[in-house]
Amino acid sequence: MKRIGPLLTLLGGLLLALFMLTLNATTGSASKATSAGDTVSASPTATRPPTTSAPPSPSASPTPAPSRSAPANADYAGRTDDDSSAVAVSLRDGRAIAYFCDGRDQESWLRGDVAEDGSMRLTGKTGGVLAGKLADGRIRGTVDLGGQRHTFTAEKAVKPSGLYRATATVRGAEIDGGWIVLPGGRQVGILNRDGAPGAAPEIDPETGAVTVDGQELTARPVTP
């Protein structure tokens, strides 16, 4: 007699895993389009009232076919040439999301497509245009924001350097923080409380843990 129970158990686990994977693959890309990166949210993103720095809308980036030869998935981080601000770019499957941040009050999330030759033109919902080109393992380009042009160079960044974001509601205030962890460990970030920008507390780049107004949040790596 061969018992069938254990096989059914394994099969059940396998089916459940495949089901979850398809759920991830479908809703995952949808949520990626509505919210930049995973967010710490007490309620589903759709039900939250939009903030001034709201994540880009679903129409911002239709999923392109990943089959074309886009630049390899990677993260880049660096500073502007005048050393006033930081820029991070995250590339996935021919799409890019970038974050420009001066650590005080100037910031912009920008997104767009990356051409096969590595050039990109990313636009921000709240203004700002990033024009850059990936070559020799770094992205060089410019960010136009608030009437100023910043030239920047972003080197390839490996974890724990990179681009992080956390959104949550803390004591009734909509919190939206963005951080760039530069190669070498320096951090530049801005925390919005109900749309008002300010300096951000440091995150633990290893865990993404950050304390905002006494509440522990998790900042997560951002992907397009």
Site of interaction with other proteins (CB under 8 A) = 1-3, 5-7, 9-10, 12-13, 16-17, 20-21, 23-24, 27-28, 31-32, 37-38, 40-44, 73, 92, 159-160, 168, 206-207, 209, 216, 218, 220-223
Task: Report yes or no: 91 and 162 within 8 Å, Cβ to Cβ.
Answer: no
Closest among 12, 15, 149, 162 to 82, alpha carbons compared: 149
CA distance 177 to 55: 11
- Closer to other proteins by Cβ: residue 30 or 199: 30
Task: Report yes or no: 118 and 71 within 8 Å, Cβ to Cβ.
Answer: yes
- Closer to other proteins by Cβ: residue 109 or 152: 109
Q: Whole-number minimum distance, CB 116 to other proteins, in Å?
A: 19
Q: Whole-number minimum distance, CB 150 to other proteins, in Å?
A: 27
Q: Whole-number minimum distance, CB 22 to other proteins, in Å?
A: 10
Q: Whole-number minimum distance, CB 37 to other proteins, in Å?
A: 6
- Closer to other proteins by Cβ: residue 108 or 167: 167
- Closer to other proteins by Cβ: residue 37 or 132: 37
Q: Whole-number minimum distance, CB 220 to other proteins, in Å?
A: 6
- Closer to other proteins by Cβ: residue 49 or 147: 49
CA distance 89 to 114: 11
CA distance 26 to 165: 22
Q: Whole-number minimum distance, CB 214 to other proteins, in Å?
A: 12
Q: Read off the amino acid at residue 165.
A: R
Tokens coding 68? 């074309």
CA distance 195 to 30: 24
129, containing H or E segment: strand 129-135
- Closer to other proteins by Cβ: residue 114 or 168: 168
Task: Report yes or no: 46 and 58 within 8 Å, Cβ to Cβ.
Answer: no
Adjacency order of strands within the sheet including 162-170: 196-199, 187-193, 173-181, 162-170, 220-221
Within 10 angstroms of residue 20's Cβ, the number of other Cβ atoms is 10
Q: Whole-number minimum distance, CB 51 to other proteins, in Å?
A: 18
- Closer to other proteins by Cβ: residue 130 or 168: 168
